[in-house]
Structure 1
Amino acid sequence: MALLTLASAKGSPGVTTAAMLFGALWPRPSVVLEADPSGGDIALRMPAADGAALDSQMGLSSLVAAGRKSLYPALVDVHAQRLVGGQKVMVGVATPEQARGITQWDTLGRLFAELPGHDTIADLGRVGAGTPQNSLVEASAACVLVVDTLPSNVVHLRERIRRLQETFGRMSGPALSVVVVAPPKRSRAVREVREALEKSELDVGAVHHLAYDPAGAAFFLGQITGNPGRTQLVRSAQPIVEDLARQTESSFVAPEAASPAGDAEQEVTS
């Protein structure tokens, strides 16, 4: 029942892969939400649980269309799909034009932050001043900004963190952390990113190192062969997921402790 958002300040260096990876390793039931207004690509990457292609028309767009008058948690199950391996996903919009038709971003933030029995791991793509998916950041228990080690991208990251903290407040906003995507042996570059943020006196909870590992990432590009648990990508992600799961644990509500069945269609009010 916690909402974890993942985003980048400039470009999208593996945000979708990280979201799918975190969902696969998450210790509680989860749904991966594609909320990138520029267009999602999970439906293009991954097969459904039965091996067929995912339905690109079934997902966020169909959810908001069905919930135009009333968005409630039971609709999520209707419009979500299962990937091979069992992960539940909410496929994103296919084009930016579809995203511009979504007016319920605030309501979507509350819906996925209060989803009974599931945490939500949301891929927001790139965030900036005025991007509509900022409403999901505001509703999230924790927000992860994904960056590589390119100096210009680190500068953008620093400014984006500052803006987010100014917008939401250091105390009332989501807990912020950073994931640096870098080759396994480039821990020094990750340490330099951490030091740059510390010198800027930004309130960042942790700076994690996620291995740049094309072989591991291939599992999230539909190349389902071998054992992903042995890849450097998965091994580096496990302690990150453990830390984020601990951060968000207090926001999770088990199904038996959630609202009674009679409230299953209660509207998430605007």
Structure 2
Amino acid sequence: MALLTFASAKGSPGVTTAALLFAALWPRQSVLVESDPSGGDVALRMPGADGSPLDPQVGLSSLVAAGRKSLYPALVDLHSQEIVGGQKVVSGVATPEQARGVTQWEELGQMFAELPGKDVVADLGRIGAATPQNAMLAASSACVLFVDTVPSNVIHLRGRLARLREGFGRVAGPAVHVVVVAPAKRARAVREVAEVLEQASIEVDGLHHLAHDPKGAVFFLGQVTGTPGRTHLVRSAQPIVDELAGRTEPFFVPAEELHDDAPDADEVDADEEVPS
């Protein structure tokens, strides 16, 4: 049970697509949670397991509403849906205005980090100095930041990494990985980003290359036909997934080794869903 947080410092290098991709390739059971307060995309782009649209009323907002008095792991299954391919997802808020009702970001992070028998891939979207989803970072085993090759975006990444390290202070914080999204034949871009970080004396736990591959990305935009395993996107993602999964394996605890901590029926509002 590990919580992996995916985010970008600026720009749009496809964090949601990468989160869907990594969750699909993850070697253990996983749940993808859209935790971007600016609005979720998964329910709009991915069909359900039976081909029908996802229920827009089921997701992070309904989970938070049901757990307004007490968040507990069983809520994740109750408020997740299965998309085509079998991946479980907790879809994000529909609009930024809806996100104002989500106030338990720190508690959500702690719950996702302790989910029995499953790892959680949380798509935080773009993070900044005051974005509320930052509160989930402290509970994560690994924070994965995505950046493209636009120079200004790399500079913003450098600044965000520095602030993250300062924010954790003496606390170790999560392992930090940087994924550079660049054309498959531009592996040199990773070295260029590494040089920018080295010049600022910023160390990261991993620096990786994910192929910018529009043809591969369409599989995670709802066009799920063909053989995604042959695309540059999937082939470049697999070794990153393998490394992250190996590093986070010590945080994983099988479900049978944990106790169900759902509240008793008399502790829950009558209109609140409880696990059967």
Q: TM-score normalized by structure 1?
A: 0.95
Deviations 1:144-195 (A, max 9, x none): 0000011000000000000000001365211101000000011112211112
Match of 1:123 in 2: 123
Deviations 1:52-111 (A, max 9, x none): 001111000000001111111111111000011100000000000011111111110111
Deviations 1:95-136 (A, max 9, x none): 000111111111101110100010000000011112110011
Greater alpha carbon shift after TM alignment, 104-113 vs 167-176: 167-176
Instruction: Please tell me whether residue 247 in structure 1 is matched to residue 252 in structure 2.
Output: no
Which amino acid in the other structure matches residue 105 of structure 2?
W
Q: Is the 8 A contact 2:138 2:173 kept in 1?
A: yes
Match of 2:89 in 1: 89
Deviations 1:209-257 (A, max 9, x none): 0000011100000001100100000000000001111111111111111
Which amino acid in the other structure matches residue 245 of structure 1?
A
Report the Cα distance in structure 2 between the residues aligned to 1:93 and 1:36, rounded to whole angstroms: 8
Report the Cα distance in structure 1 between the residues aligned to 2:47 and 2:142, rounded to whole angstroms: 29
Deviations 1:25-52 (A, max 9, x none): 0011000000000000100110000110
Match of 1:162 in 2: 162
Q: Is the 8 A contact 1:73 1:265 kept in 2?
A: no
Q: Is the 8 A contact 1:5 1:121 kept in 2?
A: yes
Report the Cα distance in structure 2 between the residues aligned to 1:31 and 1:265, rounded to whole angstroms: 22
Which amino acid in the other structure matches residue 20 of structure 2?
M
SS of the residue 1:71 aligns to: coil
Deviations 1:196-215 (A, max 9, x none): 11221112011100000011
Instruction: Please tell me whether residue 77 in structure 1 is matched to residue 80 in structure 2.
Output: no
Match of 2:189 in 1: 189
**Unaligned 5+ residue runs, structure 1?**
none
SS of the residue 1:134 aligns to: helix
Greater alpha carbon shift after TM alignment, 141-150 vs 170-179: 170-179
Q: Is the 8 A contact 1:170 1:203 kept in 2?
A: no
Q: Is the 8 A contact 2:32 2:122 kept in 1?
A: yes
Q: TM-score normalized by structure 2?
A: 0.93
SS of the residue 1:133 aligns to: helix
Distance 1:19 1:170, change over 3 A: farther
Distance 1:113 1:188, change over 3 A: same
In angstroms, what is the RMSD of aligned CA positions? 1.3
Aligned residues: 265
Q: Is the 8 A contact 2:180 2:189 kept in 1?
A: no
Report the Cα distance in structure 2 between the residues aligned to 1:219 and 1:119, rounded to whole angstroms: 22
**Unaligned 5+ residue runs, structure 2?**
268-276
Report the Cα distance in structure 2 between the residues aligned to 1:169 and 1:240, rounded to whole angstroms: 27
